[in-house]
Chain A
């Protein structure tokens, strides 16, 4: 089944403890992206990657890191989480965008709470 898999689904952590949220897709998509969703603010893009070893900042990259060492994986790293990073996180991927117009496939989300 074609899908984007995020882990974990739920995570409660303490301030300052480094964590990684994994994202993997099995569709050979070149494009991958991370979003966070907060009440009243909609989805905001954190980082995206057009291809292996190519990453770019989105609208809210502060406090996050990403890497794209292989096409299928795009982990989101919080080096020193803070309570304002408590949010619902989504990973998404899309096929090559040479002509545009390819829909995104989203993961099921990771609900992160930082206390």
Chain B
């Protein structure tokens, strides 16, 4: 399956702490994408990391990719209450003929 599996299912932290979410997948990929979903709203694309990249940053987000372990992690530094959301990873398998498959996500709660 192309689907990524996020871990943990739920995470609760204090404001200001760092949050780390993991993603594992089973097939070879071209890239892996992370999305955020605020409760009941549409997913928002956060960041994409290509298979030949090991780390990528965007603001307070840091994504790593280990293709040998078929895993990725999303780190949110100095978390804020507004970061409370569900986070999904989506491995993209090939040059674009296979739709993205989303897993169940990690539910992050940041407590003020």
Question: Which A residues contact B (CB, under 8 angstroms)?
Answer: 4, 31, 33, 35, 40-43, 45, 48, 50, 58-59, 88, 90, 92, 96-109, 111
Contacts and interface: CB of A to CB of B under 8 A. Distances in A.
Interface of B: 30-31, 33, 35, 40-45, 48, 50, 88, 92, 94-97, 99-105
Contacts of A103: 33, 35, 45, 48
Nearest to A33: B99
A50 to B, nearest CB: 7
A101 B42 contact: no
Contacts of B95: 97-100
A100 B96 contact: yes
A43 B104 CA distance: 7
Per DSSP, chain B at the interface is loop
Given A99-B95, A100-B92, A101-B92, A106 B42 contact: yes
23 contacts: A4-B42, A31-B96, A31-B99, A33-B99, A41-B104, A42-B103, A43-B88, A48-B99, A50-B97, A96-B96, A98-B95, A99-B95, A100-B30, A100-B31, A100-B95, A103-B33, A103-B48, A104-B33, A104-B100, A105-B45, A107-B42, A108-B42, A109-B40
